[in-house]
Structures are given as C-alpha cells and as structure tokens.
Amino acid sequence: MRSKAGSATRALRVLLRILITGVYLTLCALFIQLSSPGLRVADLNDIRQKGRLTVITRNNAHCYYHYRDQPMGFEYDLAKAFARELGVRLDVHIADRWEVFIPHLLDGEGQAIVAASLTDTPQRRRRVAFSEGYLTIRQHLIMHRRNKAIRKVADLAGHTVHVRRGTSYQERIEDLQRQGLAVELQLHPDVPTEELIRRVAAREIELTVADSHIAKLNRRYYPEVRVGPAIHREERLAWAVHPHAPRMRGRINRFFRRIKADGTFDKLYARYFAEIERFDYLDVRAFHRRLRRRLPRYEKIIRAAAEQHGFDWRLIAAQIYQESHLKPKARSHAGAHGLMQLTWDTARSLGVKNILDPKENINAGVRHLKRLYDHFDRAQGVDRLHIALAAYNIGQGHIFDARNLARRKQLDPNRWSSLAETLPLLRFRKYYQDSKYGYCRGTEPIHYIRQIMVYYDILKRRDIEYRVAEPRGQSSRFKVQG
C-alpha cells in the first residue's frame, strides 16, 4: 500500500511540475511578445500618441476614389469620420490586390484597419478579427437583360462565372462547386467588379457576381444588365482589425453604433447609394442614349455657365435633362420654354431676348439657380443645393410656405429632409389654407430632385479618378487629413 501511495505522490509531483513549467513558458512567451518591438500590437493609446490611423482600402467606386481632385468614397468617408472621432490623421493605403489585405493588416502591428467593403467570412475570420457588421448584403448573379437561361442558381450548371481572384465571390462559387454544381469559375487577377459588370453589359462575358448594393447601383451605369438570383444567404460587410487588437475592435463597434443611432451612417450611405432600389430601365437607357446624341451640342455652353456661377457642370447638365431632355425647343403645359424651361417672367427678369436660344436659355437658367442658391444661405451643403433646386422647380413662395410649416412642426427649415416632409402636405387644404402661396403640388420637387441626382450620379461616374497601383505586392499610400 505504501509503495502504491508513494508512486501516486511521485506522479502527482511530476504532473504539478509539468503544469508549472507550461504556465511559466506561456508567461515567458507573452512577455517576449509584449516586449519585442517587432511583435507588439499597438493599442488605441499608441495610435492617439502617434496621431495617425492607417486605413487599408481599394481604389474603386465604392471604397475610395478622387472626383474633381477631392478624395471620396463610402468606405473613405466612414474611415474619415472614425479618425476624426479618435482625433487623429487618416492615412490611406491602397492595396493593389485583394489577396494582400490581410498580410498588410497583420504587418501593421495593430495600427491599421481594413475598410474595403470586406465580407466577414469564416475563412477570413481564421486570420483576422472583424468588427460588428455595418451593412447587410447578399451576393447576386449579374447577367445581360436578354439572358433568359439563368433564373435560379441551379441553372448555372454548364455556364462560366467570372469573378475577381481573392474575393468572397470566389469563395461562394467554389462552395457551389463543392456542393456538386457543375459551374465553371473564371478568375481574374485584379479586375474591379464594376469592370466585370461592364463586360456583362457589353456581352463580352456572360456572368459575374456583385454584392447587392453594388449590383443595384451599377444598373444606372449599365442599364443592359440584370440583377439575378442571390447565390448565398445574407452576409455582412465589416472592418477587419488585427486579431490581437480587441480594444480597436471594441472602439470601432461603438463608433458604428453611434453613427447608426444619430443618422450619420444613413446620411453617408445616401450620399453614394441613394435611391438604388428605384430603377426605371427605359428612362435610364434613354438617358444614356440622349447623352451620347444631344449633350455634345451644348456641353461647352453648360461648362462655361456652370463654372461662372460655381456649380459642377454635370449637375447643370442633369438638371437640363430633367427639365427638357436636352431639347432646345421644349415647351411645357405651364408655358416654360427651352433647355432650362424658363417662364417668360423669369426670362425677362434675367434680360433674355431669345428664350429658345440655347446659350441665352442656359446662361439665364444657371443665373436663376444661383440667385436661389444665394438666397437660401442659412442652409448648408447638399441641403442648400436641394432647396435651391426645389425653388427652381415650384417657385420660391412655396418653399417659404414649406419652411414655415416645418417650423410649426419643430423641424429644421434649413434641412431638405424637413421640406421633403412638409412640401407634400401643401396639397391638402388643412395645410395650404393658412399658407401665403396656397396649394402646391408638393410631391413634384421631391421627384424632380431625386431624378436630377440620379442623372448627376451617372454623369459623375464617367469622371471618377482612380489612382494607379504600384508594382504587385506593394500598395500606394496617401496621407489624408481626417
């Protein structure tokens, strides 16, 4: 018995030594990791002390690009807002390929985040940590409108889908292949989703894949494509952080919760993806066709008038299209004339001699819009522009009434969202009987502005500037004040 008890005691001592040794080695490894400059992961205090946050992103139409020499993009605007909240400068790193996102992030020692419309997938989660999702999406097949062969995912058998290498699109098609679907996958080294959608529209390739918000937005630019069936369940877009940076992840999560609660997120989203659910194929196709045929005749006049009064010429072109479809002799049932649909009273007040002369009509119309814009100087930014456009459409008086009604409802009269709520009420006697200017077709300016901004977005898309990435395996770096 004593021998057995002694053996048990010795075994217990050996086991205890092993446990102590394991704990010691773990603590040593942790100490080395934290003390080694090459392995240490930065925390939020380090980032604040250095005054710089690095965002790794892509140079495309929904992440980061330049328009009129200004940095823009949905992901860029979100990252800029986050850097501003931290009180640091934003450095933008452009990854030249999707495959380098995670290596660049891990090399950044916790001082970088990936903000690039990145889908949170189990495969990626093995290497990085993701924030809470900020946008829910589904991946859809994209095909030409005349393609009637693909109505459900099972119809992909025998067809080829083209996607960019290294994306979650590739993962999803490979999942379908593993499930036994005989679909071919053609990988492209670094072709943007928008370019693959263009190739579908041109019938150069048959099928590609895009996230729902990107797919719907690109219908404007390429009306010949159709958004087909979803190939996977709902997923979420999220920012990626270093796996050993929990404080950064928590700080990002709080940021997203705040901007969703106070409306900032919706405002930024609307800047790039407003009205994407609405799509009128015939209208958008006609717009593209008329741009090619009619706009060149008047573009020089529009550019000169817009520059003189401080407007983007593409906005003026979009407004002219909404007013007259670029027809110089257009006349409305209300007696408005020409490209910018001037009334005789407005034309005379602006010194117009020939209301149907394209140059006179455009110059007078832009001057009139500038007067309205200057008048509503208490509004700011896009709100001011939208209020001026609404006044151009239905007259200053009805805007005054809508602003007064907004005040009575304790809404900000200098926000377009307030007037978009009160203008439609002026159709009803209950509201217009006490207004100075009476009945108003208050839904008209809302539709008017909505259409102009869609046309404006299409025109801007032609002039988005993309930076050329540096040699493969590297990335371009831009420092942007946050």
CA dihedral over 400, 405, 411, 415, signed as positive or negative: negative
- Cα–Cα dist 192/94, whole Å: 14
Report phi then psi at 355, rounded to 5: -65, -20
Report phi then psi at 332, rounded to 5: -95, 165
* Cα dist from 407 to 47, 250, 329, 404, 412, whole Å: 44, 40, 40, 5, 7
Q: What is the pLDDT of residue 36?
A: 41
* pLDDT over 70 at 30, yes or no: no
- Dig out the tokens for 332 from the structure: 């409305």
Catalytic residue among 323, 421, 444, 465: 323
* pLDDT over 60 at 195, yes or no: yes
Average pLDDT on 132-143 reads 97
List, for residues 245-278, the tens digit of each pLDDT value.
899 999 999 999 999 999 999 999 988 998 888 8
Mean pLDDT of the chain: 88
CA angle 143, 147, 153 (to 5 degrees): 65
- Cα–Cα dist 2/79, whole Å: 70
Report phi then psi at 207, rounded to 5: -140, 145
Average pLDDT on 441-462 reads 93
Whole-structure pTM value: 0.79
Tokens 């400068």 belong to 89
Q: Does domain 139-233 have CATH number 3.40.640.10?
A: no
Contact predicate 340/361, CB 8 Å: yes
Closest CA to 217 of 274, 162, 266, 168: 274
Q: Please, is 85 exposed, middle or buried when counting C-beta atoms within 10 Å of its C-beta (0-12, 13-18, 19+)?
A: middle
Are domains 139-233 and 281-461 of this chain identical in fold?
A: no
Indicate the DSSP class of residue 474: -
Least confident of 1-5, 106-110, 145-149: 1-5
Q: Clarify whether 132 is annotated catalytic.
A: no
- Cα–Cα dist 220/461, whole Å: 10
* Cα dist from 180 to 122, 157, 177, 233, whole Å: 21, 10, 5, 18
Provide the 3-class DSSP secondary structure of residue 187: strand
List, for residues 383-435, the tens digit of each pLDDT value.
999 999 999 999 999 999 999 999 999 999 999 999 999 999 999 999 999 89
- Cα–Cα dist 450/319, whole Å: 11
Provide the 3-class DSSP secondary structure of residue 88: coil
Closest CA to 62 of 139, 100, 115, 120: 115
Choose from 66-80, 94-108, 150-164 the range with maximum mean pLDDT: 150-164
Domain boundaries, the chain: 1-40, 44-135+238-274+472-480, 139-233, 281-461
* pLDDT over 70 at 468, yes or no: no
Alpha helices for 262-280 (secondary structure H): 264-273
For the chain, helix, strand, coil in percent to 5 are: 55, 15, 30
- Dig out the tokens for 80 from the structure: 């800029």
Beta bridge partners of 162: 186, 208
CATH placement of domain 281-461 = 1.10.530.10
Q: What is the pLDDT of residue 38?
A: 43
| Answer CATH for 44-135+238-274+472-480 from 2.60.40.10, 3.40.190.10, 3.40.50.720, 3.60.20.10 | 3.40.190.10
Average pLDDT on 118-133 reads 94
- Dig out the tokens for 274 from the structure: 């407003």
Average pLDDT on 124-128 reads 93
- Dig out the tokens for 378 from the structure: 């208490």
Cα-atom radius of gyration of the chain, to the nearest Å? 29
DSSP strand pairing (475-480 vs 89-95): antiparallel
Q: What is the pLDDT of residue 420?
A: 96
State the distance between the two ends of the chain, measured CA to CA, in whole angstroms. Answer: 76
